Chain A
């Protein structure tokens, strides 16, 4: 059993939900990446999504766009990130998932990428501009490297398709909560709970909700119908403003209910 499966098994046994923070690698400098990963684990992260900056992030809203620009201004590269993640693996025990648009991988070389992230101890990979129809370009290489390709479904995805996508996956399924880009929001669609229920029913693997999640009330509401949440823009913003106390508090949301292992 790989690290991702193990983590979810443990959560499940403890009847606990997963809090998965997203952070932009290189925002604040690549030198602080390991330190931040350690901190997120200490605050109770079940796994961590590490974003790779890209010049043209079409699935992202202003917060993550700006973090990406800052990271690129700090001369962050995919190669540099993988090097740091290899170091992080020695001190971080929870799963690490790389979130990157396809082009940086394509430029790196798909075979090299799969091999290098395996060596660095990366557990999964999310590629927001890679739908089912195109995944042959990289899925076999990731499978060989035993890195899970984490797939996304959205409220715009028809049920049949949700079933097909969920059926292909291991690790977890990423349920995008909005028809839209990343970024914190006040309002969620009325049909969101129904959507999550449907996804949960169709998915043989754990379901995490993400996009737009920024506060405890939302998290509690959403996790009635899924196995956890991914929180991106809010975490990026709290790192940028150095509000670590607030981050710790937000990430403790499940601790009253069940003990995170």
Chain B
């Protein structure tokens, strides 16, 4: 691949992306684009992000060789990029810090955000506490039940959590409400979107702030092995941890990129979140992207045991990478993710987030088909503390979804 320069000026990744938002928001998204372009050129802005990532978040995160897991898989070596060790327990904080600093730069004192698993909500609430910003988080009622502990965390951090009961009462509906809130409060509020989705420039901004994952991985891997990994693997909700991992490798064609979606109860049932595997291109939340939808263009509900993957779309850049074949996308069922959740806990002493467990499950399959001399890096996007209750209920025969 030659140099990769997407998106274009209009925020398009090939046919995907764009700015499909109500006119009320156009001024705000244009201003955001301008502010981000300026900030990117300002060394002091980047320095402040770097300082917080180091001193507050605890970066860089380790690249860990999972020897026991590799032996279990019986093939390629599996390395884990330990985003679970970040402050607040997931990769989401990388983006929250960057965008919150951008909001401050733009003179906005209020932050609105959506959250699915609650990880992005917690990361946002955390950064808002740090930077003294007002914080309101929209969260689906269903997710509030699944992730009760994270709701309490956000409240402890001073955020207001608003329950969304519309539609499937999950992440998609939380985004709708956050967008409506932003439309009505656009003058003093920044929408701190949590994944590589939404109108331009969000997919680019979030990708850039998450790219620290792939950049560190590349350096760490090269330092250790004087080469690049043969494959990188990451789970896909909206696609931010995957895009952060993929982006620095896009031009290194020898590195295969694998995104792992949630197959829920199976991609041939009505209960999954495999937008790239089973969806069609369409427009939702400001972007043209792959979407789960019926023949009439009504968006379908996504289903996954993991709240963070429970989204019926996937960001425009992933949609494009699929279309051009640069990245490959597969899916993992609830059952397989649950198995991996336990497997990684037992073999490595690392309890992964259910989202990340999808990536682990796929990496184990992939490793078993690869040579012993080959190497895979998995983005371990978050830790599993938030999921322990739900997994317990499921495994011990309680209520599960």
| Residue positions of A touching B, CB distance < 8 A | 54-59, 61, 65, 72, 77-79, 101-108, 128-134, 151-154, 156-158, 161, 165, 176, 178-181
Given contacts A58-B180, A179-B184, A181-B180, are A131 and B295 in contact (CB under 8 A)?
no
Q: A104–B296 contact, CB under 8 A?
A: yes
Q: B166–A131 contact, CB under 8 A?
A: no
Contact of B21 among A77, A108, A131, A180 (CB under 8 A): A131
Contacts of A57 in B (CB 8 A): 176
Contacts of A161 in B (CB 8 A): 26-27
Q: A56–B299 contact, CB under 8 A?
A: yes
Which of B283, B291, B293 is the most central at the interface, judged by chain A CB atoms within 10 Å of its CB?
Answer: B283
**Interface mask (B177-192 → A, CB under 8 Å = 1, otherwise 0):** 0011001101100000
Q: A179–B297 contact, CB under 8 A?
A: no
Going nearest first, the 8 A-B pairs with the smallest beta carbon separation are A107-B297, A180-B184, A104-B297, A55-B298, A103-B297, A154-B24, A55-B299, A102-B283
Contacts of A181 in B (CB 8 A): 180, 183-184
Residue of B nearest to A211 (CB): B24
A136 to chain B, nearest CB (A): 9
Q: A129–B20 contact, CB under 8 A?
A: yes
Interface residues of B in 146-178 (CB under 8 A from A): 166-167, 172-173, 176
Which of B25, B28, B291 is the most central at the interface, judged by chain A CB atoms within 10 Å of its CB?
Answer: B25
Q: B282–A107 contact, CB under 8 A?
A: yes
Given contacts A55-B299, A58-B176, A108-B297, are A102 and B23 in contact (CB under 8 A)?
no
A85 to chain B, nearest CB (A): 16
Complex Cα spacing A199 to B285, Å: 28
User: B19 contacts the other chain (Cβ, under 8 Å)?
Assistant: yes
Residue of A nearest to B11 (CB): A133
Q: B187–A129 contact, CB under 8 A?
A: no
Main secondary structure on B side of the interface with A: mixed
Contacts of A72 in B (CB 8 A): 298
Contacts of A132 in B (CB 8 A): 26
Given contacts A129-B21, A130-B20, A131-B21, are A58 and B298 in contact (CB under 8 A)?
no
Given contacts A134-B18, A134-B19, are A106 and B24 in contact (CB under 8 A)?
no
Give the A-B contact count at a CB cut-off of 8 A: 117
Contacts of B298 in A (CB 8 A): 54-55, 72, 104
| Residue positions of B touching A, CB distance < 8 A | 10, 18-28, 166-167, 172-173, 176, 179-180, 183-184, 186-187, 280-286, 288, 291, 293, 295-299
A20 to chain B, nearest CB (A): 18
Contacts of B25 in A (CB 8 A): 156
Q: B183–A77 contact, CB under 8 A?
A: no
Q: A180–B23 contact, CB under 8 A?
A: no
A28 to chain B, nearest CB (A): 19
Residue of B nearest to A180 (CB): B184
Query: What are 17 A-B contacts with C-beta separation under 8 Å?
Result: A55-B298, A59-B183, A77-B296, A101-B283, A103-B284, A103-B291, A104-B298, A106-B283, A107-B293, A108-B296, A129-B283, A133-B19, A133-B26, A154-B24, A156-B23, A157-B26, A179-B24
Contacts of A134 in B (CB 8 A): 10, 18-20
Contacts of B283 in A (CB 8 A): 101-103, 106, 129
Complex Cα spacing A147 to B269, Å: 40
Contacts of A79 in B (CB 8 A): 296
Complex Cα spacing A151 to B22, Å: 11
Q: A58–B22 contact, CB under 8 A?
A: yes
Contacts of A108 in B (CB 8 A): 296-297
Given contacts A56-B172, A180-B24, are A103 and B299 in contact (CB under 8 A)?
yes
Contacts of B187 in A (CB 8 A): 156, 179
Complex Cα spacing A176 to B23, Å: 9
Contacts of B19 in A (CB 8 A): 131, 133-134
Contact of A59 among B22, B28, B280, B282 (CB under 8 A): B22
Complex Cα spacing A161 to B187, Å: 17
B310 to chain A, nearest CB (A): 15
Given A106-B297, A131-B23, A134-B19, 8 additional A-B pairs, CB 8 A: A54-B297, A55-B167, A55-B298, A58-B179, A107-B295, A128-B23, A157-B27, A179-B183
Complex Cα spacing A56 to B302, Å: 14
Given contacts A133-B10, A179-B24, are A56 and B186 in contact (CB under 8 A)?
no
Which of B172, B180, B280, B293 is the most central at the interface, judged by chain A CB atoms within 10 Å of its CB?
Answer: B180
B59 to chain A, nearest CB (A): 35
Contacts of B21 in A (CB 8 A): 129, 131
Contacts of A156 in B (CB 8 A): 23-28, 186-187
Complex Cα spacing A41 to B319, Å: 45
Contact of A56 among B10, B28, B284, B295 (CB under 8 A): B284
Complex Cα spacing A176 to B26, Å: 14
Complex Cα spacing A176 to B184, Å: 12
Q: B27–A158 contact, CB under 8 A?
A: yes
Complex Cα spacing A78 to B293, Å: 14
Complex Cα spacing A107 to B282, Å: 7
Residue of B nearest to A131 (CB): B26
Which of B23, B179, B293 is the most central at the interface, judged by chain A CB atoms within 10 Å of its CB?
Answer: B23
Complex Cα spacing A161 to B25, Å: 13
Contact of B167 among A56, A128, A178, A180 (CB under 8 A): A56
Contacts of B291 in A (CB 8 A): 103
Contacts of A153 in B (CB 8 A): 23
Complex Cα spacing A90 to B20, Å: 35
